[in-house]
């Protein structure tokens, strides 16, 4: 029997401002998921948060896009929203775009990453959850994990990785997808992946046998809603060891806090800081953007763990570097490239300002 991992996340209210989901909301989600476990919808689950986003990590035998699993997550977020409203938490229900569930949580606001596989004799899985950034934040680290031999030694020295991986890329603007193969198409692949706000990695498969290796949530909430209602803080599931990159190879790219879009008002570039869960509290200028990594062993559809993977002093230097980059970027104030280009900003007064100045613009001789 196959095992499915579904990670579904939403921001349904936080404290104070957009810093952290309240514990009571996670407890409410726990009640709903525990019922779903009792009735056999779920086999197991673990609930965490990164900043203001609650992440429901669920295992079951129902395959991807299962109506009952999605409805369970939806109900958990709905109930948590009621509580958030009572407590007047900030942004209560902000990621729920609809009042009613209609079969699949996709398109209703929450982000969703899923994968189904036949368990190996031992199956280590790493779940990454971000806050104050967007799905394209995973392009660079996932490329390095599955395609860069300077990151992943196994691509060179382990025959079971040596043939490479296939990348499924979504164009989130045109709603199209393409599968590209690495290393043969590496340069073409990078031409797309470098455009992080448009082309995002959805899934990665091992080329030898088509086995699923990674899955990312790609929902763009702001595009769905047609107006600013928060960034699309993403999650990712990555399998590791024995034919996949080792856990240490999976974590290694996060040691360099690369620049991602998000941060204050979803409108600034900043470094993605790898943190232990207790430090997933983006405070400075509502950031800088955070990523946590939780490691599980998946055993007979149960989640063993987690271990909080960035809770390692070896990542201290990365955090110091992220703080230094944050300091440097902040000095730019409202100037690009700290501020995102106008078409990527979540809040923009530019059209109003241009309208006001319309009569004052003159032709340049």
Known binding-site positions for dihydroxyacetone phosphate: 18, 132, 265, 286
Question: In angstroms, rounded to a whole number, what is the distance separating the alpha carbons of residues 270 and 247?
Answer: 26
148 binds, among ligand F6R, Mg ion, none (CB under 5 to 8 A by kind): none
- Nearest CA to 238 out of 113, 62, 63 is that of 113
Residue of the chain from 53, 123, 168, 286 that contacts Mg ion (CB under 5 A): 53
Instruction: Please say whether the beta carbons of 343 and 326 come within 8 A.
Output: no
Instruction: Confirm or reject binding of residue 252 to Mg ion (CB under 5 A).
Output: no
The pairing of strands 273-274 and 290-299 is parallel
Instruction: Confirm or reject binding of residue 202 to ligand F6R (CB under 6 A).
Output: no
Instruction: Confirm or reject binding of residue 52 to Mg ion (CB under 5 A).
Output: yes
Question: 47-50: which pairs have CB atoms within 8 A and are 24 or more residues apart?
Answer: 48/129, 48/277, 48/292, 48/294, 49/20, 49/21, 49/129, 49/277, 49/280, 50/129, 50/130, 50/131, 50/233, 50/277, 50/280, 50/290, 50/291, 50/292
345's tokens: 């900003």
Catalytic annotation, pick one of 26, 158, 207, 228? 228
Residue of the chain from 114, 252, 286, 308 that contacts ligand F6R (CB under 6 A): 286
Instruction: Confirm or reject binding of residue 288 to ligand F6R (CB under 6 A).
Output: no
Residues 25, 31, 32, 37, CA torsion sign: positive
Instruction: Please say whether the beta carbons of 348 and 336 come within 8 A.
Output: no
Instruction: Confirm or reject binding of residue 18 to Mg ion (CB under 5 A).
Output: yes
Name residues contacting ligand F6R, limited to 126-145 (CB under 6 A): 132
Instruction: Please say whether the beta carbons of 64 and 4 come within 8 A.
Output: yes
3-state secondary structure of 118: coil
Contact pattern from residue 27 through residue 66 relative to ligand F6R, giving x for each residue in contact according to CB under 6 A and a dash for the rest: ----------------------------------------
Per the DSSP assignment, residues forming a β-bridge with 214 are: 204, 238
Instruction: Confirm or reject binding of residue 91 to Mg ion (CB under 5 A).
Output: yes
109 binds, among Mg ion, ligand F6R, none (CB under 5 to 8 A by kind): none
The residue range among 85-93, 201-209, 252-260, 333-341 that interacts with Mg ion, by the rule CB under 5 A, is 85-93
266 binds, among Mg ion, ligand F6R, none (CB under 5 to 8 A by kind): ligand F6R
Instruction: Confirm or reject binding of residue 221 to ligand F6R (CB under 6 A).
Output: no
Instruction: Please say whether the beta carbons of 69 and 6 come within 8 A.
Output: yes
- Nearest CA to 287 out of 302, 317, 311, 267 is that of 267
The residue range among 136-144, 188-196, 264-272, 357-365 that interacts with ligand F6R, by the rule CB under 6 A, is 264-272
Catalytic annotation, pick one of 11, 44, 55, 308? 11
The residue range among 77-85, 143-151, 226-234, 237-245 that interacts with Mg ion, by the rule CB under 5 A, is 226-234
Residue of the chain from 4, 6, 18, 74 that contacts ligand F6R (CB under 6 A): 18
Residue 11 bears catalytic tag: yes
Number of residues that bind ligand F6R (CB under 6 A): 11
Residue 99 bears catalytic tag: no
Question: In angstroms, rounded to a whole number, what is the distance separating the alpha carbons of residues 88 and 70?
Answer: 26
Residue 177 bears catalytic tag: no
Question: 181-186: which pairs have CB atoms within 8 A and are 24 or more residues apart?
Answer: 181/207, 182/146, 182/147, 183/147, 186/147
Q: Which positions ≥6 away from 320 have C-beta within 8 Å?
A: none
Instruction: Confirm or reject binding of residue 166 to ligand F6R (CB under 6 A).
Output: no
Where is the binding site, in residues? 11, 18, 52-53, 90, 94, 103-104, 131-132, 231-233, 241-242, 265, 286, 347
Q: Which residues bind ligand F6R (CB under 6 A)?
A: 17-18, 91, 132, 230-231, 262, 264-266, 286
Active site residues: 11, 228, 231
């Amino acid at each position: 029997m196959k095992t499915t991992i579904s990670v579904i996340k939403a921001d349904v209210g936080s404290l104070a401002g957009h810093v952290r989901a309240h514990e009571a909301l996670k407890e409410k989600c726990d009640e709903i998921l525990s019922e779903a476990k009792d009735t056999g919808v779920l086999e197991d689950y673990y609930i965490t948060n990164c900043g203001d986003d609650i992440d429901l990590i669920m295992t079951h035998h129902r395959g991807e896009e299962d109506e009952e699993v999605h409805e369970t997550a939806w109900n958990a977020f709905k109930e948590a929203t009621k509580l958030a409203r009572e407590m007047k938490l900030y942004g209560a229900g902000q990621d729920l775009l609809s009042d009613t569930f209609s079969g699949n949580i996709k398109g209703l606001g929450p982000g969703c990453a899923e994968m189904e596989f036949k368990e190996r004799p031992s199956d280590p899985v790493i779940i990454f959850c971000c806050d104050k950034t967007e799905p394209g934040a995973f392009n660079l680290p996932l490329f390095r994990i599955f395609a860069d031999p300077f990151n992943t030694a196994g691509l060179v020295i382990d025959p079971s990785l040596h043939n490479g991986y296939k990348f499924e890329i979504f164009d989130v603007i045109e709603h199209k997808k393409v599968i590209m193969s690495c290393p043969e198409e590496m340069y073409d692949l990078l031409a797309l992946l470098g455009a992080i706000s448009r082309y995002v990695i959805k899934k990665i498969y091992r080329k030898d046998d088509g086995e699923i290796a990674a899955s990312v949530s790609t929902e763009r909430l702001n595009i769905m809603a047609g107006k600013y209602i928060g960034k699309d803080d993403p999650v990712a599931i990555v399998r590791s060891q024995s034919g996949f990159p080792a856990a240490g190879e999976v974590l290694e790219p996060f040691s360099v806090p690369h620049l991602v879009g998000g941060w204050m008002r979803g409108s600034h570039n900043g470094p993605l800081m790898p943190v232990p869960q207790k430090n997933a509290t983006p405070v400075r200028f509502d950031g800088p953007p955070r990523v946590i990594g939780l490691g599980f062993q998946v055993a007979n559809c149960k989640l063993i763990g987690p271990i909080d993977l960035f809770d390692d002093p070896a990542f201290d230097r990365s955090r110091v570097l992220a703080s230094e980059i944050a300091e440097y970027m902040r000095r730019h104030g409202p100037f690009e490239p700290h501020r995102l280009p106008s078409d990527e900003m979540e809040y923009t007064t530019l059209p109003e300002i241009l309208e006001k100045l319309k009569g004052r613009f003159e032709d340049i001789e």
